Amino acid sequence: MVPPSGASAWLTSFTSGAMTFLAVFAMALSLASGKLANRWAEALDRTATVRISAPEDQMAIQTKAVLEVLKTTPGIAEARALTPEESTKLLEPWFGPDLPLQDLPLPQLVAVTETGAGYDAEGLRQRLAAEAPGAVLDDHLRWRRPMAEAAGRLRLLGLLSIVLIGLAMAAMITLAANAALAANAQVIRVLRLVGARDTYIARAFVRRFTLRAASGALAGVVLGLIGVALLPAQDAAGGFLTGLGFSGLGWLLPLVLVPLAALVAFLATRTAAFRTLKRLT
Find, among 91, 114, 115, the residue nearest to 101 by Cα: 91
Q: CA gyration radius for the chain?
A: 31
Q: Which of 39, 145, 189, 207 binds other proteins (CB under 8 A)?
A: 189
Say whether residue 6 binds other proteins (CB under 8 A). Answer: no
Nearer to other proteins, 64 or 197 (CB): 197
The answer to whether the beta carbons of residues 36 and 243 sit under 8 Å apart is yes
Give the H or E element holding residue 131: helix 121-131
Cα four-point dihedral sign 85, 135, 119, 154 = negative
Say whether residue 196 binds other proteins (CB under 8 A). Answer: yes
Give the H or E element holding residue 223: helix 198-229
Residue 235 beta carbon to other proteins: minimum distance, rounded to whole angstroms: 57
Say whether residue 129 binds other proteins (CB under 8 A). Answer: no
Q: For the purposes of burial, counting CB atoms within 10 Å of the CB of 206, is it exposed (0-12), middle (13-18) or buried (19 or more)?
A: buried
CA distance 277 to 281: 8
Nearer to other proteins, 163 or 190 (CB): 190
Q: Which of 7, 190, 226, 229 binds other proteins (CB under 8 A)?
A: 190
Residue 277 beta carbon to other proteins: minimum distance, rounded to whole angstroms: 8
Q: Which of 44, 148, 187, 253 binds other proteins (CB under 8 A)?
A: 187
Say whether residue 197 binds other proteins (CB under 8 A). Answer: yes
Nearer to other proteins, 88 or 276 (CB): 276
Q: Which stretch binds other proteins (CB under 8 A): 116-124, 173-181, 190-198, 246-254?
A: 190-198
Say whether residue 89 binds other proteins (CB under 8 A). Answer: no
What secondary structure does DSSP assign to 159-189, as a single string? Answer: HHHHHHHHHHHHHHHHHHHHHHHHHTHHHHH
Give the H or E element holding residue 50: strand 47-52
Cα torsion 257, 259, 264, 266 to 10°: value is 160
End-to-end Cα, the chain, rounded Å? 19
CA distance 171 to 49: 54
Q: Which of 14, 138, 198, 253 binds other proteins (CB under 8 A)?
A: 198
Nearer to other proteins, 1 or 7 (CB): 1
Nearer to other proteins, 179 or 231 (CB): 179
Residues binding other proteins: what is the number (CB under 8 A)?
17
Q: Which of 56, 100, 193, 236 binds other proteins (CB under 8 A)?
A: 193
Residue 280 beta carbon to other proteins: minimum distance, rounded to whole angstroms: 9
Say whether residue 191 binds other proteins (CB under 8 A). Answer: yes
Say whether residue 195 binds other proteins (CB under 8 A). Answer: yes
Q: Could you list the residues that contact other proteins (CB under 8 A)?
A: 1, 3, 187, 189-198, 200, 277-278, 281
